[in-house]
Structures are given as C-alpha cells and as structure tokens.
Amino acid sequence: MSSYFDRLNLRPQERRLVVGVAAVVFAVLNFWFLWPHFGDFQKARTELKSVGAKLAEYERDTAAERIVELQRRLAELEGQGSSVLPAEQSLDLIRAIQSQAAQSGVTINSQSEVVTSSNTRTNEYFEEKSRLITVLTGEKELVDFLVSLGSTNSIIRVRSMTLRPDPSQTRLQGSITLVASYQKSRPKPAPPPSGATTPPATPAAPAASATAKKP
C-alpha cells in the first residue's frame, strides 16, 4: 500500500483521505449488493426444510399401510348398492320412495316408472331407475322427504320437479321425477374348461435349477 501511495506522490493527509473514501465506497457497495442477500441462506434452509416435510408426507401417503387402507375403502365404496339384484331394483326404488314419504309426511297420489331413452348413454359403473310421482305436501315435509332420499345407499336424486299451491293455498302439489343409481354387478371370470390341463413347465437350465420356481 505504501509503495502504491509512493508512486502517486501523495502526502500523508491525502493518503488518509483516499483510504477513507475507499472505505466508504466499500461499505456502500456491501450495503447495496450484499446486505439484501444476508437472509438468503436462512431462507434456503427454511425452504429445504419445508420440501423435506412435504416429501416425508408423500412417502407416508404411499406407504403400504396407506395403500391397503385406500384399497379397503375403494372396495367398500364399490360395494354400496351392489346387494340389490337387477330384477329387484325397480321394486327397491318403490319401497324406498314410499318408506321415506311415509316418514316425512308426504302424500303420494300416484307414481309410474319412467323409461330411459335408448339413446341415453349409460354409465360404465351404474345403471339408473327413474320414477315419476305426484305429491301433496307441506314445505317442511317436502324438504325432509328430499333430504332423506339422498341419504339412502341407492343414491336417489331429483331430476325434475314441478310444484304449485293446491286449491286451499296451504300446501303444495305437483310432480317429481326421482332417479336412483345402482351399481352394475361385475361379471365373474369364467372357470377354466373341465378338460383343460396345466401345460408342463419348461425344464430349467442346469445352472439355474436350484433357484428356478414354477410359474
């Protein structure tokens, strides 16, 4: 440093001034460029910790116990409504409607089956049964009736509804189209023919005979 100042032929007071200015410039540059990034390391550590926590959560969700639980839940959901045979689905819908109407205080004057159009695309997993009913009811009784229908395993819902006041202007009358979804039964795999035999296993190579397993 002394040799550099000697080449500049600076006096001691000028040298002190140059050193002071250089120190101020250095401090300003650090404050301007480095100070805003002092917290980057801690921020990166926080983000890394958050990513590690998410990774651990994903690993727990994909653990064997979680997969088994999800498979059990899936089988349980797939089994809902499957106990109703196709030939009894229409009768099951009638019983459900009449039972819930009686519990809710809704009077059913008439009901009839609604034939689904052949052009309607059916669901891959469910088939629908529809009925048109004419009712005479109060407002509260109607709400209770519709809520109770949605709580059944057959998943009964309202497709259309037309209501108007009755002649006494104290109750409601009209028609409601109800639709129930029933899960389609899965076809069981066909048993092998009685005369079929298991093909003989291919002889294993001599070197792998100790560890070979039958297919």
pLDDT at residue 122, as a whole number:
54
- Our measurement of the distance from residue 87's CA atom to the centroid of its chain's CA atoms, rounded to an integer in Å, reads 32
Please tell me whether residues 6 and 29 are part of one structural domain: yes
**Looking at the domain assignment, is residue 123 inside a domain?**
yes
Q: Name the region of 81 (left: φ>0; alpha: ψ -120 to 50; beta: rest).
A: left
**Looking at the domain assignment, is residue 98 inside a domain?**
yes
**Looking at the domain assignment, is residue 188 inside a domain?**
no
Q: How far apart are CA 90 and CA 48, in angstroms?
A: 59
pLDDT at residue 207, as a whole number:
44
- Our measurement of the distance from residue 20's CA atom to the centroid of its chain's CA atoms, rounded to an integer in Å, reads 67
Parent domain of 99: 86-183
Q: Which residues contact 137 (CB under 8 A, 6 or more apart)?
A: 104, 105, 106, 107, 145, 171, 172, 173
- Residue 19's pLDDT band (boundaries 50, 70, 90)? confident
Higher per-residue confidence, 214 vs 73: 73
- Our measurement of the distance from residue 197's CA atom to the centroid of its chain's CA atoms, rounded to an integer in Å, reads 45
β pairing state of 172-183 and 156-165:
antiparallel
CA angle 121, 127, 129 (to 5 degrees): 105
Please tell me whether residues 140 and 161 are part of one structural domain: yes
Total domains in the fold of the chain: 3
- Residue 80's pLDDT band (boundaries 50, 70, 90)? low
User: What is the model's pTM?
Assistant: 0.47
Tell me which DSSP letter residue 97 carries.
H
Please tell me whether residues 92 and 113 are part of one structural domain: yes
Find, among 82, 120, 104, the residue nearest to 176 by Cα: 104
Please tell me whether residues 51 and 24 are part of one structural domain: no
Please tell me whether residues 175 and 159 are part of one structural domain: yes
Please tell me whether residues 113 and 144 are part of one structural domain: yes
Please tell me whether residues 60 and 16 are part of one structural domain: no
Please tell me whether residues 97 and 178 are part of one structural domain: yes
Please tell me whether residues 27 and 72 are part of one structural domain: no
Find, among 181, 176, 108, the residue nearest to 146 by Cα: 176
CATH of the domain at 138: 3.30.70.60
- Residue 5's pLDDT band (boundaries 50, 70, 90)? low
Indicate the range of 21-30, 125-134, 194-203 predicted with least confidence: 194-203
Higher per-residue confidence, 103 vs 122: 103
Please tell me whether residues 169 and 112 are part of one structural domain: yes
Please tell me whether residues 99 and 150 are part of one structural domain: yes
